[in-house]
Amino acid sequence: MLLTRILRFFSPKRRLFLPVTHTVRRHFSAVRQLILPLFFILALTGCSEPDRVSQKQFDTFLDNCFKEYVSSDTVTLHFKLSDPSAYGIDENISPSYGDFSVAKQTELCQRSSELLKELNTFDPDTLSEEDAFIWRILKNYLETSVDSKDYILYQSFLGTNGLQSQIPVTLSEYYFDDEKDIQDYLALINQVPELFDQLLDFEQQRREAGFISPDFVVSDTIDQIDQFLTASGDDNLLIETFEDKIENVSDLGKDQKQTYINNNRSLVRQVVLPAFKSLRDSLEEYLDDSSDKERLCQYDGGKEYYELLLSSNVGTDMTPKECIQALEDTLQETASDIVTLTQENSDLYTDYLTAEPLLTDTQEILTELENDTLIDFPEPPDVSYTLKNVPDALSSTSASAFYLLPPIDSKEANVIYINQSRVDSRDQFSTLAHEGYPGHLYQTNYYLSTDPHPVRSVLRCDGYDEGWGTYAQLYSYNYMEFKDTDRETTALLRQLYRDNDILSLALSSLSDLYVNYEDYTEEELTAYLSDYGVESEGARSIYEYVIENPTTYLSYSIGWYELEQLRNTMEEELGSHFDISEYHEAVLSCGSCPFSLLEEQVSSLMTE
């Protein structure tokens, strides 16, 4: 499994095919005899407590789930755990990226079916409150995996957020604690051609089944490969980062380090770069050989697959029609608010165009945001982080920013990448709020500080994760300051900035729904967006992005919408007893999960 967080096109698909656990056999007859008298007493008194035997067996089941998942390939294990031995996991697995074949994905769906049957042998009413919650999350996760079996070929590993874009970041961030890490890394470097062969085999099977990627998807992939190759001289990303990382491995002598440096240089030049060139050449053969189908709903079962993505990736029970209604309502309300603000304050639009944020240095912004988090959020855990610029080799096609999830047993491996070519000074504050405080970095480490079961780290819901990041981004405007601006104008600018983000996200998300579910052509989408001032070039860019990345925008917009609705519900229910910091704490302490389960848990936590 590759590791990026914001580069979403590939990772959520992998999550549909969770490879977890060995079967644990159980014998319940003796257990029933032992607990029957206690059950009778509890039934009379109206009290209950977890069945200790079932609890222990369930904990073993979860432990095995986690072990099997993280041991599935070297990359997953390396980035999930700093010290696998502390979890009873053998580190001596053969270096590998994993198997991305259709046959393997089908096998993993079947494995999920077996695990679902195993899970259902447990009665959640006999488990602790926390484990009963995990039981429901895992059940949802496995059911989704089983349902995905018929849709394996509907996904693609191509596009700007595809497999080829994740390899450079994954390898450059592959940290070295000891010599074994270096050896595993070099083995992975050597397997890049094999990985790309898997990608092409998968794509060929898609084409044979009638799922032919549009020319613009192939072209975007080729453009990104070309950018990586163009920037790949002596200052190649994989050469530079390797030499920086190996300097920190203390148990190697100077000569040993130099030998490894020479080996890496040779492998990058003789294996990795030729593999990228070969992939590009193979993809060029696909150009001008596209079908008349671009949008997901044009394929048989495409709408059903979209609904599955909405449920599994976004984590909502809302139907596509309900999402459209919610986002259209949000769009109209926000547009109306912008009109009102600018009409009632004649200079506001000019102020909006000319206002300069008080802070522009990324480190200063993150420090300020960390301090601001103390106002309305639980105290952040003490962790370290590193800010990095997206490498030139990836900048033109990379996301604006992304946060790399740290190993669950480390407080030292938090990394935020900023793409300076896409983020100007006006956007830095909200971008760092989304990725840092009170966004993903804070969200991730706060939950880890609650000491959850390790299996929760693999049961992730994009809608919860990105919904929180978007919620944090929009909330952060409460703290944003501008140069030479009075308090009244600052308050208006904050609202206008927030409204603009909501408007942009709602339009992008509606475009996804209209294109992939309602079958809007590019011309129809362009006409729709033109009413909001989006020019044809921008409309085409959105059209292509949502085809490459169905439901990705909705993880942000509907995820945020669900959190806003839940907040409103709790405010109405608790009235004057509602506390915003307690709401944030309740949401964060639940961890990543579908919204139906989050609502139940937050309500229970805040009303108990």
Q: Which tokens sit at 485?
A: 């601006």
The answer to whether residue 604 is domain-embedded is no
The answer to whether residue 464 is domain-embedded is no
Same domain assignment for residues 197 and 276: yes
pLDDT at 4 over 50: no
Same domain assignment for residues 52 and 181: no
More confident residue, 397 or 408: 408
Same domain assignment for residues 388 and 315: no
pLDDT at 234 over 70: no
Mean pLDDT score, 601-608:
92
Find residue 404's DSSP bridge partners: 415
pLDDT band at 233 (very low <50, low <70, confident <90, very high): low
pLDDT of residue 391: 78
pLDDT at 95 over 60: yes
pLDDT band at 236 (very low <50, low <70, confident <90, very high): confident
pLDDT band at 397 (very low <50, low <70, confident <90, very high): low
pLDDT band at 425 (very low <50, low <70, confident <90, very high): confident
Q: What percent of the chain has pLDDT over 70?
A: 90
The answer to whether residue 575 is domain-embedded is no
Mean pLDDT score, 581-598:
98
Sheet arrangement for strand 401-404: 385-389, 414-418, 401-404
Counts for the chain of helices (H) and strands (E), in that order = 27, 3
pLDDT in tens, 326-365: 999 999 999 999 999 999 999 999 999 999 999 999 999 9
Same domain assignment for residues 274 and 205: yes
How many other CB atoms are found less than 10 A from the CB of residue 225? 20
Strands (E), 77-127: none
pLDDT band at 31 (very low <50, low <70, confident <90, very high): very low
pLDDT band at 47 (very low <50, low <70, confident <90, very high): very low
Last residue of a domain, one of 234, 253, 284: 284
pLDDT of residue 394: 73
Dist CA 338 CA 332 (whole Å): 10
Q: What is the DSSP string of 288-329?
A: T---S--SGGGSTTHHHHHHHHIIIII-----HHHHHHHHHH
pLDDT band at 522 (very low <50, low <70, confident <90, very high): very high
Same domain assignment for residues 318 and 341: yes
Q: What is the DSSP string of 530-599?
A: HTTT--HHHHHHHHHHHHHSTTHHHHHHHHHHHHHHHHHHHHHHHGGG--HHHHHHHHHHH-S--HHHHH
Q: Which tokens sit at 273?
A: 């770069």
Mean pLDDT score, 79-94:
89
Task: Give first-to-last CA distance, the chain, whole Å.
Answer: 39
The answer to whether residue 474 is domain-embedded is no
The tally of CA atoms less than 13 A away on the side-chain side of residue 267 is 20
Among candidate residues 448, 442, 465, the one with its CA nearest the CA of residue 373? 442
The answer to whether residue 585 is domain-embedded is no
The answer to whether residue 3 is domain-embedded is no
Q: Which tokens sit at 492?
A: 């208006």
Same domain assignment for residues 348 and 489: yes
Residue 104 makes CB contacts below 8 A (sequence gap 6+) with none
pLDDT of residue 50: 56
Q: What is the mean pLDDT of the chain?
A: 88
pLDDT at 232 over 70: no
Same domain assignment for residues 396 and 503: no
> How far is C-alpha 423 from the geometric centre of its chain's CA atoms?
20
Burial of 358 (0-12, 13-18, 19+ CB in 10 A): middle
3-class secondary-structure state, position 197? helix
pLDDT at 591 over 90: yes
Q: Which tokens sit at 345?
A: 């304050």
pLDDT at 192 over 60: yes
Residue 436 makes CB contacts below 8 A (sequence gap 6+) with 366, 369, 370, 385, 403, 416, 442
Same domain assignment for residues 122 and 171: no
Structural domain total, the chain = 4
Can you give the residue range of the structural domain that contains 254?
163-284
Tell me the one-letter amino acid at 261: I
Last residue of a domain, one of 410, 436, 454: 454
Same domain assignment for residues 238 and 342: no
Dist CA 499 CA 333 (whole Å): 10
Dist CA 439 CA 607 (whole Å): 25
pLDDT of residue 230: 85
Residue 456 makes CB contacts below 8 A (sequence gap 6+) with 134, 137, 447, 591, 592
Last residue of a domain, one of 284, 315, 335: 284
The answer to whether residue 88 is domain-embedded is yes
Same domain assignment for residues 332 and 375: no
Same domain assignment for residues 276 and 208: yes
Dist CA 478 CA 372 (whole Å): 9
Residue 606 makes CB contacts below 8 A (sequence gap 6+) with 570, 574, 582, 583, 586
Same domain assignment for residues 310 and 189: no
Tell me if 112 sits within 8 A of 145, measured CB to CB: yes
Q: Which tokens sit at 241?
A: 């980062």
pTM, rounded to two decimals: 0.89
Mean pLDDT score, 400-407:
89
The answer to whether residue 81 is domain-embedded is yes
Q: What is the DSSP string of 138-159?
A: HHHHHHHHHHGGGGGGG--S-S
Least confident of 9-13, 180-184, 244-248: 9-13
pLDDT band at 29 (very low <50, low <70, confident <90, very high): very low
CATH of the domain at 403: 3.30.2010
